[in-house]
Amino acid sequence: MFRWYVINTYSGHEKKVKANLEHRLISMGQRERVRQIVIPTEQVVDTNKDGQKVQTEKRTLPGYVLVQMDMTPDALWVVKDTPGVTGFVGSSTDPVPLTQAEVDRLLRTQSEARPKVRAEFTVGEQVKVISGPLSDFTGEIAEINAEAGRLKVLVSIFGRETPADLSFDQVKKLT
């Protein structure tokens, strides 16, 4: 029966482990025992110091790889002896399969279509508005809503501080 299992790897070696495992499965005649090998990732939009958006792929579980496999003694041995694999999550002799709810949660984060927006801003930091009706104004960050990718910036208009709700990509840090 095919179930999902989690294998530990050296952090940063997930892609190499996946490639090594796929090669070993074919060369050792165990390919039919493994349906999928997945490195859980998500798309993240970072804002660099120049205010430009850069889309990157980020591992959601560094040091782990998901494997959908039929757990037989031979398949277990092939996976455990793959270079870079430190073991299965669970006991060393009897790996624990994931529940369907866990699988859905882990794989949903990978298939989300809308990338998350992430930026390195702090409250009190000075920024310059680079787009929109307040373009070329400078202000101070009063609030950060990282989940929505929005900032509340206090902009001085006619000598009064006025709060402006702006997205991360509408501002850039002042250097």
pLDDT, tens digit, for every residue of 105-121?
887 755 454 556 666 88
| 99 and 146 within one domain | no
| 91 and 44 within one domain | yes
Each residue's pLDDT, cut to its tens digit, for the chain (175 residues) gives: 899 999 999 988 999 999 999 999 999 998 999 999 999 887 777 777 776 777 878 888 889 999 999 999 999 899 999 999 999 988 767 889 998 888 888 877 554 545 566 668 889 999 998 888 888 899 999 998 887 788 999 998 878 888 999 988 888 888 6
| 135 and 110 within one domain | no
| 68 and 19 within one domain | yes
Domain boundary among 117, 142, 161: 117
| 155 and 103 within one domain | no
| 56 and 103 within one domain | yes
What's the pLDDT at 114? Answer: 53
Place of tokens 């996946």: 18
pTM > 0.75: yes or no: no
| 17 and 101 within one domain | yes
* Domain count along the chain: 2
Domain boundary among 101, 117, 133: 117
| 93 and 46 within one domain | yes
